Chains A and B, each alone.
Chain A
Amino acid sequence: MVEQTEAPHQLETNTTSWKLLFTCWLIAMLATLGSLFFSEIMGLIPCELCWYQRIFIYPLAVMLFIALHPLDTRVVRYALPLAIIGTLFTLYHCLLFYGLIPENLQPCRQGVSCSDEGMVLMGVLPIPLLSLAAFGMIAGLLLKIRTLAK
């Protein structure tokens, strides 16, 4: 919370934290809307790993928004575990996607494979990589906010 009696340097820290948190929220929102666009509008069927990643990104979009108004940097405590678990899922997904882990180890069911070539947007952007970037950036920024708050 922003207190009335804060020292100037504290206010500055808060402004920086707010900006960082805002960026986190923006990324979470883009990832949320993007994933919904892929599945609901473009009709791509989410593979099993995509579902796990969705589970960890959707609450971030809501939670981080709440923490912005008013600024509550304690949100890092709740948001960081989600971001880290999400990052682990995306890492695993990327390893699968690029064939660094053999196909038979993957938990996807028949129908939609997690290493499907359909996961490449416009021929250049693989969705697992986008997801890794989103989770990684959120986790990194949250860690930064945590250091600022100390």
Chain B
Amino acid sequence: MKQGHFTLIAILLMVVAFVAATMFHSSGEEKAMNERVSNNSTALIKDYSVKAGNPNAKVTLVEFMDPACGTCAQFHPFVKQLMQQQAGKMNLVIRYLPFHQGSDRMVAMLEAARKQDKFWEVLELMFATQAQWTINHVAQPDVFMGFIDRAGVDVARIKQDMNNPEIAKIIQQDMADGKLLGANKTPSFFVNGKPLPSFGYQQLQTLVESEVNVNY
């Protein structure tokens, strides 16, 4: 039927146009992303940022994360595992993108815990208990405060230190840097300044391994 052919051709044309536009867009996007990062390389790491691993390692993984982000919690064990696999060869820098409502207070708790050298313990606890204090994508800092002592911190000091106005500045700077670098989702990873080609565990591992191979 002639009319049938007409619609079939229209569908085919639309599918081809969609695929072509997608390919065109993603190639442009990848280029733009790399350019953004190389133009703003000082935005990747700040002196104040939390760091882990060998400071002299030649591979640096920068993670922009949100304590209330479910995917960040799921990725956390994997990032730790990567750090162990590449022990001595890579280090980790944590940046904050508290997109969830209330999450800036969670970051404040992390920064307060850092003063007691308990950053990682508190972060582990946050991720492990995330479902209890993140309700409908809204972080409930008071709920978490109810059991933060499990991480072995001085709770009274946390409550006091988390009101430090410096913390708000750190968050503001991290959010601004994230924007400059095009990190608009959490977690966003950069390995030696290179963004992930597409999101996923495997892509992160491949990128880390290729950087290790190039540098060692």
Of the candidate stretches B1-9, B163-171, B187-195, the one touching chain A is B1-9
Q: How far does the alpha carbon of A43 sit from the alpha carbon of B184 in the complex, in Å?
A: 10
| A41 close to chain B: CB less than 8 A | yes
Do B22 and A69 touch (CB < 8 A)? no
| B128 close to chain A: CB less than 8 A | no
| Residues in B whose Cβ lies below 8 Å from that of A33 | 14, 18
Q: How far does the alpha carbon of A37 sit from the alpha carbon of B26 in the complex, in Å?
A: 11
Task: Please judge, given known A-B contacts A29-B14, A33-B18, whether A42 and B25 are in contact too, CB under 8 Å.
Answer: yes
| A26 close to chain B: CB less than 8 A | yes
Nearest Cβ distance between residue B103 and chain A, in whole angstroms? 13
Do A69 and B3 touch (CB < 8 A)? yes
| Residues in A whose Cβ lies below 8 Å from that of B11 | 29
Do A30 and B7 touch (CB < 8 A)? no
Contact with B along A65-99 (1 / 0, CB 8 A): 10011010000000000000000000000000000
Partner of B22, one of A22, A29, A37, A71: A37
Partner of A41, one of B1, B3, B26: B26
For window 38-54 of A, CB contacts with B under 8 Å fall at: 41-43
| Residues in B whose Cβ lies below 8 Å from that of A18 | 3
Task: Please judge, given known A-B contacts A37-B21, A41-B25, whether A30 and B6 are in contact too, CB under 8 Å.
Answer: no
Partner of B7, one of A37, A42, A65: A65
Nearest Cβ distance between residue B1 and chain A, in whole angstroms? 8
Q: How far does the alpha carbon of A42 sit from the alpha carbon of B25 in the complex, in Å?
A: 7
Q: How far does the alpha carbon of A18 sit from the alpha carbon of B11 in the complex, in Å?
A: 16
Do B22 and A41 touch (CB < 8 A)? yes
Please name the residue on chain B nearest to A33 by beta carbon: B18
Please name the residue on chain A nearest to B23 by beta carbon: A41
| B145 close to chain A: CB less than 8 A | no
Do B6 and A22 touch (CB < 8 A)? yes
Task: Please judge, given known A-B contacts A43-B184, A68-B7, A69-B7, whether A30 and B14 are in contact too, CB under 8 Å.
Answer: yes
Task: Please judge, given known A-B contacts A29-B14, A33-B14, A33-B18, whether A22 and B7 are in contact too, CB under 8 Å.
Answer: yes
| B131 close to chain A: CB less than 8 A | no
| B52 close to chain A: CB less than 8 A | no
Do B3 and A68 touch (CB < 8 A)? yes
| B10 close to chain A: CB less than 8 A | yes
| Residues in A whose Cβ lies below 8 Å from that of B26 | 41
Contact with A along B134-152 (1 / 0, CB 8 A): 0000000000000000000
| Residues in A whose Cβ lies below 8 Å from that of B14 | 29-30, 33
Nearest Cβ distance between residue A87 and chain B, in whole angstroms? 23
Nearest Cβ distance between residue A123 and chain B, in whole angstroms? 15
Q: How far does the alpha carbon of A105 sit from the alpha carbon of B201 in the complex, in Å?
A: 43
Q: How far does the alpha carbon of A37 sit from the alpha carbon of B7 in the complex, in Å?
A: 21
Do A41 and B7 touch (CB < 8 A)? no
| Residues in A whose Cβ lies below 8 Å from that of B7 | 22, 25, 65, 68-69
Q: How far does the alpha carbon of A136 sit from the alpha carbon of B4 in the complex, in Å?
A: 26
Nearest Cβ distance between residue A59 and chain B, in whole angstroms? 17
Nearest Cβ distance between residue A43 and chain B, in whole angstroms? 7
Which B residues lie at the A interface, using CB under 8 A?
1, 3-4, 6-7, 10-11, 14, 18, 21-22, 25-26, 101, 184
Other 5 A-B pairs with CB < 8 A, given A18-B3, A65-B7: A22-B10, A30-B14, A37-B21, A69-B7, A110-B101
